[in-house]
Amino acid sequence: MGPKRILVKNQGNVAKKPKLSGHWSLGLLDAMKDPECVVKEDDTVVVIKDKYPKAEFHYLIAPKEDISSLKKVDKTHIDLLEHMQELAETIVNDNQHKDKSFRMGYHAEASMVRLHLHVISNDMNSNALKTKKHWNSFTTDFFLDSKEVCKQLKEEGTVTLPSAETCKKLLDTPLKCHKCEYIPKHMPDLKKHIMTHVQ
């Protein structure tokens, strides 16, 4: 059976798409207002804990300005993206995190609304990391390094994103350990293997 379509009919009996409010893809907007989720904030950005962390430490830095995604970023946002990068560096260098290795970057195609910078520890050891797509979204070129994004924005005035077709291929890349040459047979094998890199 195919997916169910929810159609709301208006009085003229013309089918309308349901409104997006309350949709899962808007969850970050609620989290940004929830004191339980917010780790830090200033005039321009909010840092929240990722609700489904894909590593021991996983934060998201999102602007208060209504920027839906990287696709909407232009040269007027250089200062903002540099500020997000600087804040990420402050977080990874604080006492709680300074002994761990972190990566900071954007997904080439985000699933959640509101631009967000992932700040993620490089252990990739988490129960919430379940699928090949999860793995590849952080360990292939689908993950766009924040410094590179800032550099490109400054030098070229725009961020060039991989095509939808390239994104699909990146997410479908055969599994490989992010720390060594090990080629796992499947996700459970990979998850067992990465424990050999976790102290």
Q: Catalogue the active-site residues.
A: 116
- In the chain, DSSP assigns E strands to 8-9, 15-16, 38-41, 45-49, 58-63, 102-107, 117-121, 143-145
Distance from the Cα of residue 95 to its chain's centroid: 24
Name the residue nearer to Zn ion (CB basis): 20 or 180.
180
Name the residue nearer to Zn ion (CB basis): 100 or 197.
197
Question: Which letter does DSSP use for residue 143 in this model?
Answer: E
CB of 48 to Zn ion, least distance (A): 30
Considering only 32-40, 63-71, 100-108, 174-182, which stretch makes contact with Zn ion by CB under 5 A?
Answer: 174-182
Place of tokens 């961020």: 159
* Residue 28 binds: one of Zn ion, ligand AMP, none (C-beta under 5 to 8 A by kind): ligand AMP
* Residue 46 binds: one of ligand AMP, Zn ion, none (C-beta under 5 to 8 A by kind): none
Name the residue nearer to Zn ion (CB basis): 147 or 179.
179
Name the residue nearer to ligand AMP (CB basis): 144 or 153.
144
To the nearest 10°, report the CA torsion of 145, 153, 166, 88. 20
Which residue ranges make up the site for ligand AMP (CB under 6 A)?
27-28, 31, 48, 50-52, 60, 107, 110-112
20 binds Zn ion (CB under 5 A): no
CB of 182 to Zn ion, least distance (A): 4
In the chain, what are the helix, strand and coil shares in percent, each to the nearest 5?
35, 15, 50
Residue 151 tokens, joined? 């550099």
* Residue 39 binds: one of Zn ion, ligand AMP, none (C-beta under 5 to 8 A by kind): none
* Residue 77 binds: one of Zn ion, ligand AMP, none (C-beta under 5 to 8 A by kind): none
Rounded Cα gap, residues 191 and 7, in angstroms: 41
100 binds Zn ion (CB under 5 A): no
Rounded Cα gap, residues 185 and 111, in angstroms: 27
Chain residues in the site for Zn ion (CB under 5 A): 177, 179-180, 182
